[in-house]
Amino acid sequence: MSQRDNENQADSPKRFQDFFVLTSGAIAILALLFLTGAIGAVEWITGAIVMSAGALAFYVGSAPSQQKPRQAPVLQTATSEDAVRPENSIEPFILALPLPALLIANDGTVTTANTHARNMFRMDVASLPSPMAVLRQPDLLAAAERVSRDGANERVEFTQHGDAEVWMAHVRPGPEAGSVIMVFEDLTAVRRAERARADFLANASHELRTPLTAIGGFIETMRGPAKDDKEAWDGFLEIMGQQTERMKRLVADLLSLSRIEFSEHRAPKNQVEFGELARKASMALDPIAKDAGIKLHFDAPDVSIHAIADDHEIAQVIQNLASNAIKYARSEGEVQILVGVSPTMAEAATACSRQSPDAKRSLLLQPYAAEGAPAVWIRVTDDGEGISENHLPRLGERFYRADESRGGKIEGTGLGLAIVKHIMARHRGGLAVESLEGHGSAFGIWMPRLRENVPTETL
């Protein structure tokens, strides 16, 4: 029996005595008043009932409650003798992390690993492997051993699958003495962006240095050995003018690429009539095609094609693709610019980039739009020498020269297709190329259009 139960039993006779005294006293007072004639019989009976009921209420109300009082929670500390840590209490947190993470116990086994870590290291779900069998990275194993021994945090950068992936391991002491927690952060995209930025600056510097060196050399010649050779100056000035134009084109493309990349995350908002826009952009290339002896053919459906787009950027895409096609077409050859509509993005991709059964293909940009969205597409074809298959995946890289891949001597900045790629990314569209060596190449773009009652057959 508890101490509280003993106290309740000891208190019960006292409460009954109080009840008896109150009841007896009340009846005695009422009897005295009745005998003196102060109250009548009815008043005496009523008063006795009321006083007895009051005494009874006091008796019942003074009884202690049998419900146990609510106790305040007792906080356990790490130094309390009653504080018992559940085994591997950190496991739910490791399993919930969105990054690969694992726990190495003080006995040297991997006791917990979330799904991301198991996929990353291809771990068996049922086994408890050793870190050496899982990590296979000497630097990681050494860091885990130091953290287990010293308890100090460490970070280790390492590569996976050759140099294809770059990871950062955050190594921390675990909940138990000698245990270690590892959380892995994927730095592949960051390192790739850093390399691309460094390559971009190096290539831009190289592209600008070449014409500047040529101009500087001719200026030095005109000031020195050819100072008095006025007849040679005309040739020097012509070459210097060509190099100046090359730098102007390069700077213009760099500024255009920078502007497009800056606004790539913002989708266009204006509605344009796509067919008329493509027609005007193609007509602007007629003089260039005539000067090159190339026949420029344009065809589009005789219906309205509306899309949400930036008209200046789409015109730039058409002109970049068509001007490239004019450069690489055969002498007195033909360049075709075809515009079409398709009921879905998937069918548009086929219509604009899968017309030659024997051609080699490469998808340069996967569209962000849903495959089932209605689409408009453009296909630009030349009848030149085509592009070698091993060069196709690299098209669209900054400063990659299509001329170099085709073995010609046609100049360019190497930024045209990169600009096209970024513009189409902003418009949630796709970019693809197909080429058959000796028979020409075709570049296709496709993007979502507004739903309208227009023919869905391709041209």
Does this model's pTM top 0.95? My answer is no
User: Domain check: are 353 and 239 in the same one?
Assistant: no
User: How would DSSP label each residue in 410-425?
Assistant: ----S-HHHHHHHHHH
CATH number of residue 242's parent domain: 1.10.287.130
Q: What is the pLDDT of residue 456?
A: 41
Structural domain count, the chain: 4
328: in domain: yes
User: Domain check: are 368 and 424 in the same one?
Assistant: yes
Is the model's pLDDT at 48 over the cut of 80? no
CATH number of residue 105's parent domain: 3.30.450.20
Q: From the DSSP assignment, how many helices (H) and strands (E) are in the chain?
A: 14, 13
Q: What is the pLDDT of residue 62?
A: 53
User: Domain check: are 144 and 238 in the same one?
Assistant: no
DSSP 8-state assignment for residue 337: E
pLDDT tens for residues 221-231?
Answer: 888 888 888 77
Distance CA 100, CA 153 (A): 18
Query: Where among 214, 242, 263 does a domain terminate?
Result: 263
pLDDT tens for residues 249-298?
Answer: 778 877 877 777 777 778 888 999 999 999 999 999 998 899 889 999 99
Averaged over 113-140, what is the pLDDT? 80
Confidence grade of residue 50 (pLDDT, cut at 50, 70, 90): low
Residue with tokens 């009652």: 453
User: How would DSSP label each residue in 52-70?
Assistant: HHHHHHHHHHTSPP-SPPP
Can you give the residue range of the structural domain that contains 222?
192-263
Asked if residue 155 lies in contact with residue 144, where contact means CB atoms within 8 angstroms, the answer is no
User: Domain check: are 310 and 368 in the same one?
Assistant: yes
Lowest mean pLDDT across 161-165, 243-247, 305-309: 161-165
**What value does the mean pLDDT of the chain take?**
79
Q: What is the pLDDT of residue 67?
A: 47
Lowest mean pLDDT across 80-89, 168-177, 275-284, 346-355: 80-89
